[in-house]
Structure 1
């Protein structure tokens, strides 16, 4: 039994993996914000109401819709929610930075050997929001290419022969 996957299916697979990574990073970021401050959690969640959570259902809807025209329309909606949620990610950065600065200024320590221990609680606040931002930027670029391929409806785009595109 051989497993063969064409390039159009590979794009769908990559988008679904990015969707899973996106929803995982969103939930971890919200959990991190909730552990630092409930106000930060609600700010990120409701600056654009549920804008950080809605790209996942929109992406699933776009991936599993039938027909290239219908799928392209749903993909545009997914792209819109994905880019809109970047505002919520920026709010998460701001909230994390403010919380880090207020926590570090209230916990001034003397310079000693123990102060060089860096933990995720102190200096790694930026990792989850930056990973989420990178994921969203990569998704936006991939969605643009996928929508363009859905609208053209030319299967020679996925051909290994570049001359096949110009012959049709």
Structure 2
């Protein structure tokens, strides 16, 4: 909750204060052009690094490896793109840190470690309830089963029941 407060209340105020301070020192138009220029440069870097990350994901996937590191870095690049396009110097600095490969890797590793530790403590539990019901919709081999809550689960399966038992059940 504190993080959200800092993100949505304190950060914009700090950005505005810094923009005013910089514009007092170098002028309003110069500040404006620096902010717009940083957005263009940031978009260029995010696009370039994003394509490199996508290429790495494709290479690892082709080898049959799980591209976990690359996916987490790709998410950081997505956040970096938003931060770099957002007007302000603080967001530009954080976005640049998320964009550069030599800082993005350690940040991604730290965030993944924090996420795993949070999951181990039971932070975001997903509970799945499957209700048993005898009736199938759409025929015996359709693979769809309607549950009490109206959800339909679609699955492929192979019936391995022996033939003599199948005849007895029908």
Bin of the TM-score, shorter chain as denominator length? 0.3 to 0.5
The two structures have a TM-score, normalised by structure 1, of: 0.34
Of structures 1 and 2, the larger Rg is shown by 2
Q: Which has the higher contact order (CA 8 A, sep 6+)?
A: 1
